[in-house]
Structure 1
Amino acid sequence: MSIHDPSAGHLSSASSSAPPPAVTVQSEVRRLTHLRANLDAQLDVYFDVLKTNNVDMHAPLVDNDGFPRSDIDVAGVRTARVSIIRLRNDLKDVHRDMEHVVLRGLPRADDPPHDNETSARDGTRMGGLETVEGDKPFAKVDAVAPSSPADSAGMKRDDLLVSLGAVSTSNPDTLRAVAALVGRSEGTALPVVVTRNGGRLNLVLTPRSGWGGRGLLGCHIVPYTP
């Protein structure tokens, strides 16, 4: 080592003097949203593999005689399925963390410090999610079926949808993006921001089948133009 190189002790002292960046709603949602977008992109790649082979997650990979099917890339499909399961689990973890941020709340960058109890009670302390995900509604809830996942989440007819998971006005085709997200998120809690009567609400929606009606949400949304 050169005598002109900084010593390890000097480096440690310099690095330890720098305070860690503050954790806020904005920074946490930005980090989780970026992570979720990466996972979604990887899922799209592996679902394309299944689509190319005309199979889903459950189609058999062997023929009636027990031999690997010759009409599909068995190894590729098997790898895609394993990867999809792993990525879905990772995505559930990210959505769970996002839900905790929404429900617990963290101090906003422009807010004074406050105790956790006040944060949990004060809905305005959780507005950072709305700022990151988007400011303008992109869809309107046209109907909500009783006892549906949307009903359980607290969604109402005429709610204006600001964001659902990572989908907001930043997406080029919002309704198609919603359909794609919901289709691969059954059983996964998704953070939702809606406007109602001039105010904003943070909800948690979990798509699921078997609730007694059609679809995974049980609501009908239509494009919204102010």
Structure 2
Amino acid sequence: MSREIALKLDQERLIIEQEIKAIVDYLTAPGMPGIDGPLVDAEQFPIPGLDHYRIREARQRFNRLNNDYKEIMKRIEQELENYFQSVQSEIHNGNSSSHDQVPIEIGIPSSALPHAFAIISEVTEGSPAMQAGLKKEDKIVKFGDIDYRNHNNLQGLVQYIVSHENQEINVFIIRKNAINRETELSLKITPRRWEGNGILGCRFVPTTN
């Protein structure tokens, strides 16, 4: 049920975002005071030409929606964490193979996923990364226990990979498909020695967001 709950919450998130945008557009229109600009002049008189009541009401609504947005993002993250754990269990219980693997689409909108924290900038031919199904420009959402909260400028990711040599790791990625739409995939990768450099055969760069 976690996936269904996350999808429902994501729809609520979109509605909140749309209302927040409408409020911001209203408050930042030409001649308006903005999100938190003053409603009185230097002598503390109300600035003429403004609908003070409506502006205060919009600002209060903006603050409430921001709080709602933070709360719903926490709930989405928790439901997705539950879903990731269930997918990881299914992957772990499935048949593993040393041959090239095909990533599994997990069917969650990228907008509902936790933040991607790294991007694959290079994948070497014949490497463990290529055999696992990783491709250049894949966005890494979760790499085993590592995500945007604990990757520590990718140092945490590197340490995690080194400490899990010859161990299968579940990875969740975002990838653009043939029609340039982002899809969410899960795959398994086993860091190991091979004829090339390192134990993965790929390079990561941190995301800019």
How would you bin the TM-score normalised by the shorter chain? 0.3 to 0.5
TM-score, length of structure 2 as denominator length: 0.48
TM-score, length of structure 1 as denominator length: 0.44
